Chains A and B, each alone.
Chain A
Amino acid sequence: MQVGMTSFKARAKSALADATLKTAIDRTAGNAETKRATAVGEFPQFDAARRRGRKIKDHVIANLEHYLTQFERNAIASGAKVHWARTSQEASRIVIDICKAANAKSVTRSKSMLGEEIGLPHALEAAGIERVETDLAEHIVQLADETPSHIVWPAMHKTREQVAELFKSQHQELPASDAIPDLVESARKDLRRKFLNADVGISGANFLIADTGAICTVTNEGNAELTTTPPKVHIVTAGIEKLVPSLGHAFMLLRLLVRSATGGDFTQYTTFHCGPKRPEDADGPEEFHIVLVDNGRTKMRRELPEMLRCIRCGACMNHCVVYRQIGGHAYGATYPGPMGSVLTPVLDGLKQSRELPHACTLNGKCAEVCPVEIPLPSLLRGWRERSWKEGLEPVTVRAGIGGWAFVARRPGLYHMATAIAVRLMRLFKRGGRIAWMPFAGGWTEYRDLPAPPKKTFINAYHASRRGAKP
């Protein structure tokens, strides 16, 4: 997905003015934050586990060629067809071609952020194929004709009242009331017949198991299995960084993923899919396709290898003070929040997304909760530096920082300037605080500025040094 036409600032401003959005985000992200803290508290080995998780990911990234070819060999042996895609367009085209070859009219999809990344919803629509989103949140987002605002809870931005409106206007089985269980029941009935009538089921993969050629999906709803079992064709789209050496390694990462994402210990349904239906099997798809997608990942391995550790748990966004205020849509990209602000410049280009790495207070919370120890604040700072070096920062910012640097490098001038500034600021002080001052509206609109003391720090320091002399 491309960054939208409006600027990040404009989107953030309108998001900040949306009180309903704030309510919706707080209800889910607040819940997730509390539950994660409890789950991690009940798992004293968490820190040792995340160091191990990080090592597993680093080992795979360092040996990616080995694991990709091993996975491919085993997947083919299981009867799967393996496809490779360099770009999002190539990946979408492969999926659409498989759907067309299967004469597909209706396709069910189990939530996959990679599918969003490669623009699959749009590609299916352009090909005239009916798309049925089966994850409840993705279903809500589809009815609202929107995009996901979170990688684990795509409909985090919706309140139950808004969901009720959508279901009442678009479901055949109307909800009995606005209560959440009635809303879920209404979606259950609406989606069930669609599961059984689909020609193709498309899923992502949380892990690709190199030594068996299996792929792993995790859901709490069971929609992945309902998506992948009834149709004749199952297509998996997965980023090449999803590999793990074996089932044992997948389990180590699953312990981290689930606790970090939802605060559960294990997802309700953790399923390993290996090849198409066997001759003796009671059910399953006749064709099993795996599309391995690069889309910037080989480049990331050279420039941002730590980011390839990401297991898409969403903890960084749940704990981000910026995300919690503006929600996912304001970022205008497939992946929101801290991990999104690191990934989007790779996927969409730094020129289009240079504002995102700035939407960060560098409070370090994201790195603190990351289950694979990705140094997100450092990576965000890296993009800021690169944006500066490549001359992408706007003229006003460059001039402002240039002017500040000119003064800051000249101590005499700096002390003079700060002494004048302090005096000017004190002209606006009312009872120790500044409620309004020219050029400070952005600050004083929401809170007062404490008035500076009479002397600057340097003046006070020199005065005390003089006083201290014998």
Chain B
Amino acid sequence: MTDARDSILQSLRESSNTGGAGTIGGVGSDEIAAEAQALLDDPIAVRPTLPSADIVDSFITRARGAKVGATVDRIASMETLPATVAAYLAEAGERAQLCRQPTPSLEALDWAAAGIDVRGDIDDGAFVAVALWGISETGSVVVHSAADQPILSSFLCGVQFIVLKAERILAHLEDYAAAVQGDLAPRNACLITGASGTTDIEGSLVKGAHGPRELHIIIVGGV
């Protein structure tokens, strides 16, 4: 389809040169890059303010707010994670079993001691994973695809537990963009902001459209 490529680019070149409305033909890459950079200036003027001065508190407010609808727990260290997960499952009336992200920090924990049966198959059950970042502005948690981070699990589970280190919480979306700037982009970078929801029938919100019905975020440390 080289023909189509050439003809589209040629057509764009022609309309730039004729100086059609809104075009600035013949500008060099450096100038374009400088103009693009300037469009990111003064982010404070064009983004929402956080609900509080504390980044972690702001994250919790947003994540618990009606728009995200997640539940949030805070624990001092990873050792208490299995007991926290078990308590949540018991309160929600769910079975004490879950699938976990195959990552050392979760595999090292004693889940059996908390009465949790660790399973391999996920379908509609509980899944626990560790997020790379949290974003206070939106109450989002971020996961990147990797050898120890299957993407599908986050979308097939019924109850999603996300573990988030307090020191990994960023204030704004731009801070996440800055944090990954220059890194090799992962196959998937998912910003998860609540459980799977739909308003497709009469605009009425229902949780558990295809993926998780509930999102429970557990913030570790910084207490």
Contacts and interface: CB of A to CB of B under 8 A. Distances in A.
Interface string A60-88: 01111110110000000010000111100
A352 interface: no
A58 B196 contact: no
B27 A220 contact: no
A251 B174 contact: yes
A214 B183 CA distance: 13
Nearest to A156: B203
B188 A268 contact: no
B155 interface: yes
B1 A85 contact: yes
B210 A48 contact: no
B151 A229 contact: yes
A266 B140 contact: yes
18 contacts: A31-B204, A84-B4, A84-B8, A137-B200, A155-B200, A192-B210, A213-B185, A225-B155, A226-B156, A245-B36, A246-B40, A249-B40, A252-B46, A270-B190, A281-B187, A282-B145, A301-B22, A305-B20
B198 A153 contact: no
Given A65-B9, A220-B198, A281-B145, A184 B206 contact: yes
B15 interface: yes
Contact of B147 (A188, A214, A280): A280
A183 B27 CA distance: 54
A251 B177 contact: yes
A298 B193 contact: no
Interface string B118-149: 00000000000000000000111000011111
B108 interface: no
Contacts of B194: 268
A247 B180 contact: yes
A429 interface: no
Contacts of A266: 67, 138-140, 191, 193
Contact of B203 (A153, A268, A284): A153
A140 B152 contact: no
Interface in B9-29: 9, 11-13, 15-16, 18, 20-24, 27, 29
Interface of A: 24, 27-32, 42-43, 45, 48-49, 52, 55-56, 58-59, 61-66, 68-69, 78, 83-86, 90, 94, 134-137, 140, 153-155, 158-160, 163, 180-181, 183-185, 187-188, 191-192, 195, 212-214, 220-223, 225-226, 229-230, 240, 245-249, 251-252, 254-255, 262, 264-278, 280-284, 292, 294, 298-299, 301-303, 305-306
Contact of B185 (A154, A252, A262, A272): A272
Interface in B172-223: 173-174, 176-178, 180-181, 185-204, 206, 208-212
B155 A229 contact: yes
A374 to B, nearest CB: 12
B39 interface: yes
B209 A305 contact: no
A228 B212 CA distance: 17
Contacts of B9: 65, 68-69
Nearest to B37: A245
Which residue among A192, A229, A278 has the maximum number of chain B CB atoms within 10 Å of its CB?
Answer: A229
A254 B145 CA distance: 22
Given A246-B177, A272-B185, A301-B20, A86 B7 contact: yes
A185 B207 CA distance: 10
B67 A248 contact: no
A271 B190 contact: yes
A221 B211 contact: yes
A283 B151 contact: yes
Interface of B: 1, 4-5, 7-9, 11-13, 15-16, 18, 20-24, 27, 29, 32-33, 35-36, 39-40, 45-48, 62, 67, 102, 138-140, 145-152, 154-156, 173-174, 176-178, 180-181, 185-204, 206, 208-212
A78 to B, nearest CB: 7
A243 B142 CA distance: 23
Contact of B39 (A56, A269, A273, A301): A56
Given A59-B39, A69-B9, A305 B1 contact: no
A275 B187 contact: yes
Given A180-B202, A247-B177, A281 B146 contact: yes
B146 A282 contact: yes
A305 B21 contact: yes
Contacts of B29: 66
A283 B210 contact: no
Nearest to B209: A221
Nearest to A91: B4
A420 B14 CA distance: 57
B199 A220 contact: yes
Contacts of B186: 274
Contacts of A276: 187
Given A59-B39, A284-B187, A184 B152 contact: no
B120 to A, nearest CB: 13
Which residue among B7, B152, B155 has the maximum number of chain A CB atoms within 10 Å of its CB?
Answer: B155
Which residue among A24, A66, A85, A266 has the maximum number of chain B CB atoms within 10 Å of its CB?
Answer: A266
Q: Which 4 residue pairs are nearest across A and B when measured between Cβ atoms? A: A31-B203, A222-B211, A282-B150, A28-B203
Nearest to A43: B48
B217 to A, nearest CB: 14
Given A280-B146, A302-B15, A305-B21, A264 B67 contact: yes
Contacts of B181: 247
A275 B39 CA distance: 27
Nearest to B143: A271
Contact of B200 (A43, A153, A280, A281): A153
Contact of B173 (A213, A251, A273): A251
A177 to B, nearest CB: 13
Nearest to A23: B202
Contact of A265 (B35, B138, B203, B206): B138
Nearest to A220: B197
A465 to B, nearest CB: 46
Which residue among A24, A30, A85, A188 has the maximum number of chain B CB atoms within 10 Å of its CB?
Answer: A188
A32 to B, nearest CB: 6
Given A29-B203, A52-B45, A249-B39, 18 more contacts: A59-B36, A64-B12, A84-B4, A134-B210, A153-B203, A160-B201, A214-B185, A221-B198, A247-B177, A252-B46, A270-B140, A271-B191, A272-B189, A274-B189, A282-B145, A284-B187, A292-B8, A301-B20
